[in-house]
Amino acid sequence: MDAKHQRQDLYDVAIVGFGPAGAVAAAMLGDAGFNVWVGDRLQEVYDIPRAIALDHEIMRIFQQIGIVDEVMPHTEPFTPSEYYGVDRQLIKRLTMIDKPYPLGYTPSIVFTQPPVEKAIRRKVASLGNVTVELGIEVTSVAQDAEAATISVKRPQGDSGDIRARYVLGCDGARSLVRDEAGILLEDLDFDEPWLVVDVLVNEQGLAKLPKTSVQYCDPDRPCTLVIGPGNHRRWEISLKEGEDPLQAATPERTWELLSPWLNPEDGELWRQASYRFHALVADRWREGRIFIAGDAAHQQPPFLGQGMCQGLRDVANISWKLAAVLKGEVSGETAQALLDSYGEERKEHVSNLINRIKAIGSVICERDPIKARQRDAKLLAEAGGVVRDSPRQDVLPKLAGGMLSQTPHIAVGTIFPQPWMRKNGERLRFDELVGEGWLLVVDPAMSQPRLPMLNVVTVGAHGLLEEESILSRWMNKNECSAVLVRPDRYVFGAADNEVDLAGLLAEWQERMGQTIATSIAV
């Protein structure tokens, strides 16, 4: 697909990379009304799956850009993940949090990546203010006081420059944008060779396989089995020292490694590829007008299925901040601080989660049989001899630092819930009802301030009711009567009385610098 729209002299944002992160960023910024250019070296969506897991926060992002109904048919709930030790005894189980689900979607899901990517691209193609160029090669990225310049070679052989106020590099682990900006990767000390195998399993094969996903914590060869949508099953198989990764990825050797579960007559190989699983994070995520996101900014082991989720969290974070700057809602030093907060928040969150994933990996990947038995005994002892369910979502950290209130509160940096709501008989999810932007959610007993850029929502008043008490229970648990929620639905701050609320709003005004006077009452 070539560029469909007339090229601009100066775009608001240029995005390098049209994978999931780049495409979602283009959709978000395009929806916000900005002139966006996005380019990628590939002409089409990669036709085999790489990511296999998503979560409810990502489904909420798909809802925001209007494609969640297209995505849903390509998803299924994630089965429990059962961890088996040296003697194949159950030592740990990761599961789903209980209903009612706090964000309005199944908290952990598996999905088929190619059709989901195509849905995102269809959304982008519907936006007349977004220019898409595929099959192009980015050769350099530079910036000056006025804008950034991306030099490209097009499929026809001609060269040209793209000028934009900001550049977002979503161009993968070997990111040219990252290199051109002089951004380095920090090594978080994980580097192992693994074989990833996707199989379309027939009925005969399915009858042989476990009904839940499994982590085989076998010191001889650690391995993961993930139950994907339909008849899709994925194995992640560790490679031993001295094994040739290229040879392991041949069909013959792959079937040998799968032989404890399946034979060639049990299904069809969809993909087999050798990887080195890394734990890396960029030392900084911004250089002037240039930002990086997704695999360009971080890489993590796959043990919690958070790779694509983290990339979409990145672009959801930077998109609302770029929008605030481009719209003039913030300016000067306030604008620079807001843009800087992207890297502060996301680097801390990613690093924290990678360390938690590494801890999970250390359970799976222990190679010493004696230490592995000690691990098994310790996990069982900690559980009192009975393995209890541990929700996957409990592993995810809160946001910290950056554009969050500096007044301590347990809700700061958490994700605000999205209950099902009713207003005048109509049933909608919370975000659909209240719209985008900054929200102040207050108890009916609290006063309702009117401030620029702030949508004040009073649940329980004016016929606005929730179905399952998710929000009221959340407010009680977090001991608050008012919550200030960012456009990406993370909690900026919370208060339990009107004095504390006044202080919270004063802090927010100081941090944001308000120049647009709009207030919406629900």
pLDDT tens figures, 419-471: 999 888 889 999 999 999 999 999 988 888 888 889 999 887 777 888 899 99
Per-residue pLDDT at 7 = 54
pTM of structure? 0.94
Residue 214 has pLDDT above 60, yes or no: yes
Per-residue pLDDT at 157 = 85
Q: At 306, list the tokens.
A: 């958070």
Burial degree of 404 (CB within 10 A; 0-12, 13-18, 19+): buried
d(CA 40, CA 151): 13
- Mean pLDDT, to the nearest integer, of 46-54? 91
Give me the sheet containing 464-466, strands edge to edge. Answer: 426-429, 420-423, 464-466
Per-residue pLDDT at 517 = 37
Helix (H) / strand (E) element for 164: namely strand 159-169
Within a 10 A sphere around the Cβ of 433, how many other Cβ atoms? 18
Better-scored residue on pLDDT, 3 or 349: 349
Residue with structure tokens 């006063």?
A: 447
Better-scored residue on pLDDT, 303 or 101: 101
pLDDT tens figures, 331-340: 999 999 999 9
Residue 522 has pLDDT above 80, yes or no: no
Per-residue pLDDT at 6 = 45
Q: What share of the chain has pLDDT > 70, as a percent?
A: 97
Burial degree of 207 (CB within 10 A; 0-12, 13-18, 19+): exposed
Three-state SS for 221?
Answer: coil
Q: Which domains does the chain have, with CATH numbers?
A: 11-75+111-186+280-362 (3.50.50.60), 414-512 (3.40.30.120)
Per-residue pLDDT at 8 = 63
Q: Phi first, then psi: give them for residue 453, nearest 5 degrees.
A: 65, 20
Q: What share of the chain has pLDDT > 90, as a percent?
A: 82
d(CA 430, CA 438): 14
d(CA 201, CA 234): 10
Residues 209-223: b if buried by 16+ CB within 10 A, e if exposed: beeebbbbbbbeebb
Work out the mean pLDDT of the chain and round it to a whole number: 93
Residue 303 has pLDDT above 80, yes or no: yes
State how far the alpha carbon of 276 is from the alpha carbons of 171, 183, 220, 368, in Å.
19, 22, 18, 21
pLDDT tens figures, 478-520: 999 999 999 999 999 999 999 999 999 999 999 998 743 333 3
Q: At 253, list the tokens.
A: 């050797």
**Residue 135 · residue 77 · CB < 8 Å:** no
Q: Helices (DSSP H) in 207-297: which residue ranges?
A: 245-248, 251-258
pLDDT tens figures, 129-142: 999 999 999 999 99
Q: Side chain identity at 453, as an amino acid letter?
A: M
Three-state SS for 35?
Answer: coil
Per-residue pLDDT at 424 = 82
| CA nearest neighbour of 36 among 51, 20, 14, 16 | 14
Residues 292-328: b if buried by 16+ CB within 10 A, e if exposed: bbbbbbbbbbbbbbbbbbbbbbbbbbbbbbbbbbbee
For 15, residues 6+ apart whose C-beta sits below 8 A from its C-beta are 22, 25, 26, 29, 36, 37, 38, 39, 167, 168, 170
